[in-house]
Amino acid sequence: MSSSHPHQDEDPHRGVDENDEEEEAMLDPNDAAEEIVDDGDAAMDSGSEDGGEDEIMQEIHLQNDSAAHFDKFKDSIFTIAQHPKLQNIVAVGGSEGEDAGGIGYIFDSTPEPSPVLPASYQTGTWSADGKLLATVSEDGSLYVWDVFGEASAAGLTQDNGQTVVGLTALDQRFAVEGGLFSVAIAPQGAFVVVGGAGGAIKVVGLPRLTSGNAASSSKAKGKGGKAAGNASASAGQAGQILADIQAQTDGIETLSFAPPPLTLLAAGSVDGSIALFDSAHRWAVRRHIKEAHEEHSIVKVDFVKNQRTGGWLLTSCGMDGVVRRWDTRGGTAWCLIHLSLEVYELFVG
């Protein structure tokens, strides 16, 4: 049985006429469900050509209300550290572009800023007396800068005349695969601690500046010279790796020392934990608060520097948008503050 076809009489080899296609594509006006009548409105555009009164104009005024500003960076800014005593002195580190690397600046918020750090860095911190600035970078380098020239005057700087300590990944004892992300200087200024990938933490000795040596020598007169001997030994340990410790499994994003007389160091990790080390007892782990922010990274830890609290309160914040305050004597949460956003930085008073 052959199938039927509505055009059996047509020659299957005859070409299709273009007029036939056009006629087949036309719709019957009687089949239209709705007719739209042209009311004469002009087509929509971005506005009238003659700028008539029907065009709504909006004027936006931009105003800089900052007391001071710094705009020399050509790309992202990674870190800002304000001088602990001279509030107008600020250290900043960032990028000069994808292919240009990074650079650091120290500027006074009043006069024209000028670059003084010929190196890029991820983050930085000042010593308690404001004389030294320590910086670390993802390339695995640590530099401690003699910002005001006091170390240079005492003959304690390296050959470049700008740094008192300079360590890079070329030194296999100091190298951290994946780079360094955090840095903190001990309150007494005897050493600097850096944290990096894989939970690595390294402790490096710092020199004593002239004023510190003088103070130690004056104390030594009443103690049989013992203090002077310690000061001399501390100066001799500048740049030496004093300890290599690890208690966490992922990058160390933040470090903080407890105020004296406490000797605790807090380390916050990407693995969500906080570790407390005792610098007076060979960096023994006093507490390891696992899942301090559950599975979320910890971006900042900071001890509360308030004599009324005894210095044992520790504040932390994480990518979970929660700020927690810890009693480091027992490693328990003291209070929680929930935020509706991700926290990247924290300042504690």
Average pLDDT over residues 33-53: 57
For the chain, the average pLDDT equals 78
Higher pLDDT, residue 97 or 265: 265
What pLDDT sits at residue 267?
98
pLDDT given at position 308: 77
pLDDT in tens, 148-168: 888 888 888 998 889 999 999
Q: What is the pLDDT of residue 87?
A: 84
Q: What is the mean pLDDT of residues 35-39?
A: 61
SS3 229: helix
Q: Which amino acid, residue 73?
A: F
User: Does 261 sit behind a cis peptide bond, omega within 30 degrees of 0 on the bond before it?
Assistant: yes
Query: CA 308 from chain center: how many Å?
Result: 30
186 has a pLDDT exceeding 90: yes
Give the closest residue to 82 by CA, choosing from 130, 13, 43: 130
- Pairing, β 142-146 against β 132-136: antiparallel
List, for residues 269-313, the tens digit of each pLDDT value.
999 999 999 999 999 999 999 989 888 999 999 999 877 777 889
How much of the chain, in percent, has pLDDT values that exceed 70?
66
pLDDT in tens, 205-248: 999 875 544 444 444 444 444 333 333 334 568 899 999 999 99
**289, exposed or middle or buried, with CB in 10 Å at 0-12, 13-18, 19+?**
buried
Residue 182 has pLDDT above 80, yes or no: yes
Angle (deg, nearest 10), helices 226-236 and 210-220 = 150
pLDDT of residue 241: 96
d(CA 316, CA 308): 19
3-17, 77-91, 145-159, 318-332, range with the lowest pLDDT: 3-17
pLDDT, mean of residues 135-142: 94
Residue 268 forms beta bridges with which residues?
254, 274
Residue 93's nearest CA partner among 125, 140, 65 is 125
DSSP state string for 146-163: ESSSHHHHTT-S-TTSSE
Cβ(268)–Cβ(274) below 8 Å: yes
Contacts of 52 (CB under 8 A, 6+ apart): none
